[in-house]
Amino acid sequence: MRIERSRHGNILVIEAGGNIDRISAEQLGSFLQYEIEAGKRFLVLDLQSVTNLGQDGLWEMVSALKRVRRAKGDLRLAQPSDRVRDALEMSGLDQIFRVFESQADAVASF
């Protein structure tokens, strides 16, 4: 898995790529936790390049969402791949996360 980040004003965009399995899910979770603890409150997780999203990855995303909402922020998802969209829909998380078709739309939603 790869993680890249960029800033758009006060919004942090995180682009993830590859497989998010048990090991890489922990890396993603640690990365998100670090950024939230560092004061980032408005996050966009771009999932366009994610080829597979396992249960551990979903759990880390939900944990990050809870942490950032407690801090009066939000975590929004952008351009999930078809496999990621399927995982979100099957888990019901597409009803919890705000999901956008483009990164620009997700950023503009704040």
DSSP letter for each residue of 55-89: HHHHHHHHHHHHHHHHTT-EEEEE---HHHHHHHH
- Bridge-based pairing of strands 11-20 and 2-8 is antiparallel
- At 110 the pLDDT is 96
Q: Domains in the chain: how many in total?
A: 1
Domain containing residue 90: 2-108
User: What is this structure's pTM?
Assistant: 0.94
Q: Going by C-beta distance under 8 Å and a sequence separation of 6 or more, which residues neighbour residue 102?
A: 78, 79
Per-residue pLDDT of the chain (110 residues; tens, 9 = 90+): 899 999 999 999 999 999 998 889 999 999 999 999 999 999 999 999 999 999 999 999 999 999 999 999 999 999 999 999 999 999 999 999 999 999 999 999 99
Q: Looking at this protein, which amino acid is placed at residue 34? A: Y
**Predicted pLDDT of residue 1:** 86
Q: How much is the pLDDT for 105? A: 98
| Cα 94 to Cα 16, 38, 85, 86, 97, distances in angstroms | 18, 27, 8, 9, 6
* Main-chain phi, psi angles of 31, to 5 degrees: -60, -50
Kindly report the CATH number assigned to the domain that includes residue 103: 3.30.750.24
